[in-house]
A and B are shown apart, each in its own frame.
Chain A
């Protein structure tokens, strides 16, 4: 993208100083609207049980699923509740999946004195061949068997199954379907190339300093300091930067101070203090040049449960002096130049990764879009706020760009839907590990990774 336009003047700066060098104005964002209002929590009350969220989730997705079921298996399909099931009758049931896993960490087992169990260490995946699937609706649950991939599915998914109840009380599944892609949004994209930079996992405050130069190079490219004139003029077309979580490194989460004696920890400062100062300086440099949206992630100083609330402005005094800094929620939804973005910092995808046989982050990202829900495993295995009025994670409109942060590597795919939906799926890699960020072109919904590197003692080729 950049290179074709920039190539002609590539060597332009290998010359004696010329007259006044050009300054390029940053292409302004013509239409920005923040649509993440459902993810902002006002007064939070945790006095409710989590059963309500499942109830509203099912109630919210049931009509859509029933329509999909009718379309797939015929309009005459019998739609039954579990309580109305009759043995042997072929019908369709809409309900919530529950996967019973032996290895799933259970707090009750951990604290139970009878078992005398040491809490199990975190595993990369908790799936086992002996896992079982149950379908639950408002009143009952039934065990599922048959043409359904137990390993692949996760708890909390709403789906419609077609089959019949057996004599032994289990449901034999012949086919199943998900909510599929939500209805499309009209396309009002820009007429010329505009870029949005997606980066995640800056990982400030970590012990190693290898990624620091790469972070500085990233800031320099975006603010137009690095590169020859052609590249700088291309960089002026970057209209926005979205930082998708994990701005701080996992090393800043020093929890041992809680267990240590006070006299040992009195004078020590939390590692995140220094890291946030560094973040403030980096954001200050970015904010003087480009609008920035900062999403919190797993290791950032904000609440743990989804939806994560924006970082507080007081932590970033230098950067928040500028109006170009936007501190936003995780998940984040916004319309930029007529293109709808929706994305998370990756906790939803990595949680599904742990409890499903799916290995590819892009595959999981696509699956959540097809299942119609951003994070089905919340609140079962992923912390979530006890919603009771409505579930804000249900996908009601199809975004144009759907991303997740902190993936192991960069992947992107353009998904075409039956109703004319076009979605660019992007897995944004962890910058501290890969030194790669993504440039999304809003004009044609393409994405290009951009990698930064310095040189080390062991100079690579």
Chain B
């Protein structure tokens, strides 16, 4: 029977997994209304005790009611152990509610495990924390874009809700950098808002694709969705092979080359684009186009960097560069992504439109320095390899 399922579930949670099963935890886990969860817990306790009076089961209850305290009537809400339940009920002049709060195998010394269980389950369900509650608030709607310009239209992508969480954890620069460009540029950049891409890599890919197929803007819009799914897979793959093998990222790259040279480079470039979010989206798009030009030529050079340009490796790549920079104090702290830029041929027409902020001069001016830096990166790697070889010899 369907009702028996929950009994088995609770039994498993309490006895087999030795969990503290609070009504809230049960409600989220089984996806039921909180009141139903409370009733389920009560039912389980009753049945278990009936069939086996010596069952090792400790129950805590929630009691709420009026209490005369310090001369005025105070509404008290308390979590009590089973043995103190009657005592608390008798203290209250009126009992407003009693229900099971939690069930666990062991006797609890204090209520901190209850708090921890609830905290964990709420934290992992923050997106819909009032889904199983008994009160619905019609006014609690997410803000619309005009109110909160940092959030693109929430209807467009369910990922949006995760953004605040994802952004904070993955890349703090992501959302803020993603938002200003859509507002500043209509037209091509309007594709940003239309896409409402949660991840900066996606947006950069789109701009890249758009710039590539400048005449066919609408065509570009239809293509990014397909690209995105492919790219997401590649990202998933590439994300797992962080610094392990150079060959692995080359494979996705080759595959990408088959699909679309622009796309492939876009993906490869998107990681430096995430790095370069600070300079701005426009610079990234410019870089994409420029990289696009010399992608094949510089493949070999960049193969080492490609793998490092995975979004997760952004920080690692940064660190490496920074270590080098700390060696050479006169190097500026410039993210690695602009380096491919100067190596490009003159940019295609859409690029100047997008590159309003970043002028060619400074980038070219520092081109030599960046080139030097990049070479240094390669050198260092070789150095490490040699070291390892040496260590292998000596060790």
Cα–Cα distance between A436 and B78 once the two chains are bound (Å) = 12
Bound Cα distance from A290 to B33, whole angstroms: 19
Nearest chain A residue, comparing its CB with the CB of B73: A448
In the complex the two chains form, is B79's CB within 8 Å of A13's CB? no
| Majority DSSP secondary structure for residues of B touching A | mixed
Residue of A nearest to B75 (CB): A450
Q: Does A318 contact B (CB under 8 A)?
A: yes
B43-85 residues with Cβ-Cβ distance < 8 A to A are 43, 46, 60, 62, 64-67, 69-70, 72-81, 84
Check: A190 CB closer than 8 A to any chain B CB: no
A17–B115 CB distance below 8 A:
no
Please tell me if A173 contacts chain B, counting CB pairs below 8 Å: no
- Chain A residue nearest to B40 (CB atoms) is A17
B39 touches A18 (CB 8 A): yes
Residue of B nearest to A237 (CB): B135
Chain A residues within an 8 Å CB radius of B118:
216
Q: Is the CB of A223 within 8 A of B130?
A: yes
CB distance from A207 to the nearest CB of B (A): 14
Q: Which residues of B contact A256 (CB under 8 A)?
A: none
Name the residue of chain B whose CB is nearest to the CB of A280.
B164
> Please, which residue of chain A has its CB at the minimum distance from the CB of B94?
A3
| Contact A228 B99, CB 8 Å, known A209-B115, A323-B141, A449-B74 | yes
Which residues of A in the span 157-215 have a Cβ within 8 Å of any Cβ on B?
Answer: 209, 212-213
In angstroms, Cα B80 to Cα A21, docked, is 25
Q: With the chains together, A236 CA to B137 CA distance in Å?
A: 9
Check B79–A10 contact: CB distance below 8 A: no
Residue of A at shortest CB range from B132?
Answer: A225
Using Cβ atoms and an 8 Å threshold, which residues of chain A touch B70? 409
Q: Does B110 contact A (CB under 8 A)?
A: yes
Distance A453 CA – B79 CA, assembled complex (angstroms): 6
In the complex where A21-B36, A455-B111 touch, is A16 in contact with B133 (Cβ < 8 A)? no
Does A11 lie at the interface of the complex (its beta carbon under 8 Å from any beta carbon of B)? yes
**Bound Cα distance from A17 to B39, whole angstroms:** 5
**A274 to chain B: closest CB distance in Å?**
13
Contacts of B3 in A (CB 8 A): 17
Q: Which residues of B contact A16 (CB under 8 A)?
A: 39, 42-43, 46
Asked if A456 contacts B165 (CB within 8 A), the reply is no
B79 touches A15 (CB 8 A): no
Which of A26, A217, A232, A456 has most chain B Cβ within 10 Å? A217
| Contact A228 B97, beta carbon cutoff 8 Å | yes
Complex CA gap A223/B147 in Å reads 25
* B112 smallest CB distance to A (angstroms): 6
Q: Which residue of B lies closest to A313 (CB)?
A: B148
In the complex, the answer to whether B96 meets A21 with C-beta atoms within 8 Å is no
Instruction: Determine if B35 is an interface residue (Cβ-Cβ < 8 Å).
Output: yes
In the bound assembly, the distance between CA atoms of A3 and B27 in angstroms comes to: 25
Q: How large is the interface on A (under 10, 10 to 19, 20 to 34, 35 or more residues)?
A: 35 or more
Task: Give the distance in Å from the alpha carbon of A461 to the alpha carbon of B78 in the complex.
Answer: 12
Q: Which residues of chain B are near A436, meaning CB under 8 Å?
A: 74
Chain A min CB distance to B362 (Å): 30
Roughly how many angstroms separate A221 CA and B66 CA in the complex, as a whole number?
15
CB distance from A288 to the nearest CB of B (A): 4
**Residues of B contacting A13 with CB < 8 Å?**
35, 38-39, 42, 97-100
A4 at the interface (CB under 8 A from B): yes
Whether A322 lies near B143 (C-beta < 8 A) is yes
Q: Does A226 contact B (CB under 8 A)?
A: yes
- Neighbour of B134 across the interface among A29, A224, A324, A448, CB < 8 A: A224
Among listed B121-129, B180-188, B225-233, B296-304, interface-contacting one: B121-129
Q: A17-B40, A209-B115 are in contact. Are A322 and B72 (CB under 8 A)?
A: no
Among B96, B98, B119, B130, the one with the most A-chain Cβ atoms within 10 Å of its Cβ is B96
Please tell me the number of chain B residues within 8 Å of chain A, measured between CB atoms. 76
Given the known interface contacts A16-B42, A455-B80, the answer about A321 and B164 at a Cβ–Cβ threshold of 8 Å is: yes
Verify if A1 is at the interface (C-beta below 8 Å from B): yes
B-chain residues with CB within 8 Å of residue A449 when the two chains form the complex = 72, 74-75
Q: How far is the CA of A28 from the CA of B94 in the complex (A)?
A: 28
Q: In the complex the two chains form, is B97's CB within 8 Å of A6's CB?
A: yes
Q: Which of A1, A221, A226, A439 has the most chain B CB atoms inside 10 A of its CB?
A: A226
Contacts of B393 in A (CB 8 A): none
Q: Which residues of A contact B79 (CB under 8 A)?
A: 213, 217, 453-455
Query: B164 to A3, Cβ gap below 8 A?
Result: no
Do A281 and B126 touch across chains, with their CB atoms under 8 A apart? Answer: yes
Cβ contact within 8 Å between B115 and A15: no
Asked whether any CB of chain A lies closer than 8 Å to the CB of B196, the reply is no
B239 within 8 A of A: no
A14 proximal to B (CB < 8 A): yes
Residues in chain A near residue B80, CB distance under 8 A: 455
The answer for the CA separation of A288 and B138 in the assembled complex, in Å, is 9
Judge if A300 is at the interface, Cβ distance under 8 Å. Answer: no
The closest CB in chain B to the CB of A209 belongs to B112
Contact A323 B168 (CB under 8 A): no
Q: CA of A289 to CA of B132 in the docked complex: distance in angstroms? A: 11
Which chain A residue lies CB-closest to B115? A213
Is residue A459 within 8 Å, beta carbon to beta carbon, of the partner chain? yes
Whether A225 pairs with B65 at a CB distance below 8 angstroms is no
Chain A residues with CB under 8 A of B164: 317-318, 321
B133 and A289 within 8 A (CB): yes
What are the residues of chain A within 8 A of B139 when measuring CB–CB? 26, 28-29, 291, 323-324
Q: Is A452 an interface residue (CB 8 A)?
A: yes
A365 in contact (CB, < 8 A): no
Contact A231 B97 (CB under 8 A): yes
Contact with B along A17-41 (1 / 0, CB 8 A): 1101111111011000000000000
Q: A24-B135, A284-B129, A323-B141 are in contact. Are A14 and B98 (CB under 8 A)?
A: yes
**Cβ–Cβ contact B151 & A213, under 8 A:** no
Contact A229 B134, CB 8 Å, known A221-B77, A322-B142, A451-B77: yes
In whole Å, how far is A35's beta carbon from the nearest beta carbon of chain B? 20
Tell whether, in the assembled complex, residue A220 and residue B24 are in contact, meaning their CB atoms are under 8 Å apart.
yes
Contact of A459 among B39, B81, B129 (CB under 8 A): B81
B34 within 8 A of A: yes
B260 CB to nearest chain A CB (Å): 35
Contact A323 B143, CB 8 Å, known A221-B77, A226-B77, A227-B97: yes
Bound form: Cα–Cα A369–B167 in Å: 47
Residue A73 is within 8 A (CB to CB) of chain B in the complex? no
Closest A residue by C-beta to B32? A17
Supposing A17-B40, A213-B115 touch, asked if A227 and B62 sit within 8 A by C-beta, the answer is yes
- Who on chain B is nearest to A292 by CB? B140
B62 with A226: CB separation less than 8 A: yes
Q: Is B244 an interface residue (CB 8 A)?
A: no
Task: Beyond the given A4-B94, A15-B42, A456-B110, please list 6 additional residue pairs across the A-B interface where CB-CB is below 8 A.
Answer: A16-B43, A17-B6, A213-B111, A228-B97, A228-B98, A318-B126
Can you give 5 contacting A-B residue pairs, CB < 8 Å? Answer: A26-B136, A213-B111, A221-B77, A291-B137, A454-B110
The residues of B with any CB-CB pair to A shorter than 8 Å are 3, 6, 24, 27, 33-36, 38-40, 42-43, 46, 60, 62, 64-67, 69-70, 72-81, 84, 87, 94-100, 108-112, 114-115, 118-119, 122-123, 126, 128-130, 132-143, 147-148, 151, 161, 164-165, 167-168
